[in-house]
Structure 1
């Protein structure tokens, strides 16, 4: 069943990301010019219907979607460590995607493809129901001011959409260093009958920090500023 066969009632009137400059360094521009045509696509320019990842990757392998890959440090490391998985990285920030292309070039990573644009559009219109092995959302913009909480990505409608695209037994992995956002994530995901917290028996329901998730400079800064990083891992039932 294609994405269009099961419409999830999730309509956003505000975006969850900060619009930033697309100015790139010379190295990022070179990587963009050299590799984007092969490894990247703009979501707004995708043809109607499900994305043909088998043709794009040149094989059929379990598919991992990372929403908000930032500058690509974590993404590149995880993709290189798991060549048996195909990785899709979604990001709106062009220099971040270009930096990820540089990292892919440096480490000769061939199981990674990049998408620029709104992850909600990708999920709703270009990914089949049950097509994903895992969805990762690491350190999304916390929008810390209460009046901006409506801009946070992890809301009920969005999680419903994400869960529909994960295969039974697949996982949704979230991480944040903002306490109230972590609690919101836990509440929203726990409320979904199709998701089960793999670590519900742990204090707070928080997952132990996976050793395979690299520590980024943002996480290091969070620790230095006294913020606790929380991981949540939910399984699609």
Structure 2
């Protein structure tokens, strides 16, 4: 008999919540999804990506532009701002919470961001199989869930093994940008990326300068108000050859 299929090999970095959406968000999801949300073949779980599914950026965006991917785009503030101010680049937002996806689509529609697409999926699966190898110029991970309780830290997105997943999706010379307001997670990120083959620091000193493409959000202000320092990191994928 065939071996039973594994639900997932590793713990995911999120808990899928079924939070209620407003009427506007429900309407946005129904009306704007055909324009913005990618239809992805699923594997075992609803947020999974079938391992044989592949994105064709040129077909999806109608051109062969630079691709920037944001992991855990939340309400979409950073990526909508970037997409609306950088029309020559293409942007992909990866998020699992529907309310955030709906808000992102609403704001993208208002901003006329035609160069933005969204995917409702588990990020490592998007990076490891769905994106063409070496296609992304940048990958952004801003304020990922810190899973600050010690028993939950194994769920953190940035942990040993994850850099190899990102490296597959990044072009040679491409940049991984990160930010968090949790000091211990920032230290873990830096330790993991410093030790990762194929990456080098794209900053001097202890921390990177604040990425000017990351707009200030209510979430970031809340962290600052609680006395937490925002720490940025940036790593470059070392080109082969």
TM-score by length of structure 2 reads: 0.89
Residue 138 of structure 2 corresponds to residue 137 of structure 1:
no
8 Å contact 1:43–1:121 — kept in the other structure? no
Task: Look up the SS of the partner of 2:138 in the other structure.
Answer: strand
- Report the counterpart of residue 30 of structure 2 in structure 1: 33
Bigger RCO (CA 8 Å, 6+ sep):
1
Task: Look up the SS of the partner of 1:156 in the other structure.
Answer: coil
Count matched residues. Answer: 224
For 1:13 and 1:163, locate their aligned partners in 2 and report how far apart those are by CA, in whole Å.
18
- Any runs of at least 4 consecutive aligned residues in structure 1 with deviations exceeding 3 A, and if so which? 42-47
8 Å contact 2:202–2:234 — kept in the other structure? yes
- State the shift of 1:192 in Å: 1.2
- State the shift of 1:38 in Å: 2.4
| Equivalent position to 2:182, from 154, 178, 181 | 178
For 1:95 and 1:29, locate their aligned partners in 2 and report how far apart those are by CA, in whole Å.
8
- Report the counterpart of residue 23 of structure 1 in structure 2: 20
8 Å contact 1:15–1:151 — kept in the other structure? yes
- 189 and 72 in structure 1: CA distance in 2 versus 1, 3 angstrom threshold: same
Q: CA RMSD in A?
A: 1.5
Task: Look up the SS of the partner of 2:113 in the other structure.
Answer: coil
8 Å contact 2:76–2:103 — kept in the other structure? yes
- Report the counterpart of residue 69 of structure 1 in structure 2: 73
- 161 and 128 in structure 1: CA distance in 2 versus 1, 3 angstrom threshold: same
For 2:87 and 2:145, locate their aligned partners in 1 and report how far apart those are by CA, in whole Å.
28
- Report the counterpart of residue 208 of structure 1 in structure 2: 209
- Report the counterpart of residue 234 of structure 2 in structure 1: 233
- State the shift of 1:12 in Å: 4.1
For 1:98 and 1:12, locate their aligned partners in 2 and report how far apart those are by CA, in whole Å.
29
8 Å contact 1:42–1:117 — kept in the other structure? no
**More helix per residue:** 1
- Report the counterpart of residue 166 of structure 1 in structure 2: 170
- State the shift of 1:42 in Å: 4.5
8 Å contact 1:97–1:114 — kept in the other structure? yes
